[in-house]
Structure 1
Amino acid sequence: MTLRIAVQMDPIESINIAGDSSFALMLSAQDRGHTLYHYDVRTLAYDASEGAAGRLTCWGAPVTVQRVEGAHYTLGEYRLIDLVADIDVVLMRQDPPFDLGYITATHLLERLEGRTLVVNDPASVRNAPEKVFVLDYARFMPPTFIARRIEDVRLFQQRQVASGLGGDLVVKPLHGNGGKAVFRVPADGSNLGALVEMFQNAWVEPFMVQPFLPDVSEGDKRIVLVDGEFAGAINRKPGEGEFRSNLAVGGSAEATTLSPTEEEICAALAPELKARGLVFVGIDVIGGKWLTEINVTSPTGIVAIDRFNGTDTSALIWEAIERRHAAM
């Protein structure tokens, strides 16, 4: 089966080919004989005029990739591409912010349903933001609070002290990514006012608050699920002087296995991910038991997982995509 694949992603010239999951997926697709096109989400256009039959197009170019630093891609001529007539699969891989632009793109791509396969499913991506979808699995989460008022956060902090979890908090944007703007608040709350003020000025949505988990010093685990099935995992450890373990902010990776609770988490998530068309998902777990995020927009980590485990997660993802496309 040869597929025509349009990859919706950030500028290809700026990616880190040593660890970029989108690049790994493109290499794998190319090895499988598929044809690749690259386009910027900002070029999506929808024609609802009479006779257009709801035509969704983008301004894209054929692309070939190779694992050569500084010469990792070759683009053909850009042209108008019909995402139904010219494309079999849209791979939605641009990074957040998960803003109105991102949400609007999911609404447009959703109109391809039944004609062109979009991975991950755009309606499910829109309805399952990382730090909101995870609330459906609160039984696996640390105590979690979403709010905007500092008074509410202080009450939450007092409850954590009373419960014996300690008073240190972690505050993070509800729709952030890559460990950006994640702050630790000490038990005395000395910087809480300034942080709340900053969050209120920077984002219209509420923010997420959780107790600081000392286990994070041993890292947090990125677990990848492909069409609901466990595909691999790595442990990400914070860099010196950091508590954030994201690789994007200097964390390091190491091989790992799943704890019994992590296996239980994966089993609980599997049917819902599969039903929602969330083919490539990365979940984050701290201390072998605390589920913190379900990443569906542009998950990462497969390059490090394959390096440590000798696996081929990209191939598993394409096998799942090919199965879904064949079943359309």
Structure 2
Amino acid sequence: LFLRGGEAIARMAPLSVRDDPAGWFELGEVAPVALGRGHVVLMRKDPPVDAEYIHDTQILGLAQHAGALVVNDPQGLRDYNEKLAALLFPECCPPTLVTRDPASLKAFVAEHRRTVLKPLDGMGGRSIFLVDHGEANTNVILETLTQGGTSLAMAQRFLPEISEGDKRILLVDGEPVDYYLARIPQGDEFRGNLAVGGRGEARPLSERDRWIAARVGPEMKRRGMLLVGLDVIGDYLTEVNVTSPTCIREIDAQFGLNISSGLFDAIEARAAAAA
């Protein structure tokens, strides 16, 4: 992905895929193509959302201006930090504090007794800490997360419902898929992320899950976020994942769905409306 003058260009190749882990794709000949009308770009890059990521969204903004449909919308990708975006819907969230100040975070831990502490730019459960009030390592954890009081960190009241799984609820063009993936912690691990060994179990959405989705979904749709993953523990929203939400294949496999088909239907409808 690069710019020549004011034109967004991508080096692209024809791609064929198959459901075979031993050899799941083949690429054809690579050639540069100017992005514009008639093109759809799936922007799926793992966090962290660093300077290179932001620059890519700016290039894709020019592709969008030239007529390409970018999924998810580049402006939304810049605006929605996956941890902070949940706080746009505070009625859905557990008690939460975001600050650079270690003393304030420590006071939050003292108030709520058991707290989850995490950076704002992590993924896959990385650098997430469970801290109890009075724990000897609290100061060093806070110093590390805030980099000595210079970086923002998030504290949330611990939700014991994590033992039943960290729910991944998928929104396709603002509407929830009828089933979520519960990512259930295993052994002595309190994190449910699949990347750290959590077990995935697909289940139907509850009424509370649908209530949360009904509050978040319309805003995501309005901002051009066609594929969004909500993280819900118990009755509370903890994250809004917009960069590269996963768990489609796991839910498909357990309930015989084809979530991607619905996503591409939504993409085609958006592309047709813009034509």
Q: Which bin holds the TM-score, normalised by the shorter protein?
A: over 0.9
CA distance in 2, matches of 1:200, 1:268: 31
CA distance in 2, matches of 1:153, 1:180: 19
CA distance in 2, matches of 1:208, 1:175: 10
CA distance in 1, matches of 2:115, 2:176: 31
2:215 maps to 1:258: no
Displacement after TM superposition at 1:148 (Å): 1.9
**Aligned positions of 1:11-26 closer than 5 A:** none
**Aligned positions of 1:279-290 closer than 5 A:** 279-287=226-234, 289-290=235-236
Contact 1:129–1:297 (8 Å) recurs in 2: no
Identity between Structure 1 and Structure 2 (%): 42
**Aligned positions of 1:1-328 closer than 5 A:** 44-48=1-5, 54-84=6-36, 88-114=39-65, 115-160=67-112, 167-201=113-147, 205-231=151-177, 232-287=179-234, 289-328=235-274
Structure 1: state its 5+ residue gaps.
1-43, 49-53, 161-166
Structure 2: state its 5+ residue gaps.
none
Contact 1:283–1:294 (8 Å) recurs in 2: yes
Provide the alpha-carbon RMSD of the alignment. Answer: 1.7
1:240/1:309 CA distance change after superposition, 3 Å:
same
The count of aligned residue pairs is: 272
Contact 2:100–2:150 (8 Å) recurs in 1: no
Contact 1:98–1:176 (8 Å) recurs in 2: no
Where does structure 1 differ by over 4 angstroms across 4 or more consecutive aligned residues?
Answer: none
One-letter code of the match for 2:163? S
One-letter code of the match for 2:131? V
SS of residue in 2 equivalent to 1:111? helix
CA distance in 2, matches of 1:77, 1:101: 26
CA distance in 1, matches of 2:88, 2:150: 23
Displacement after TM superposition at 1:203 (Å): 10
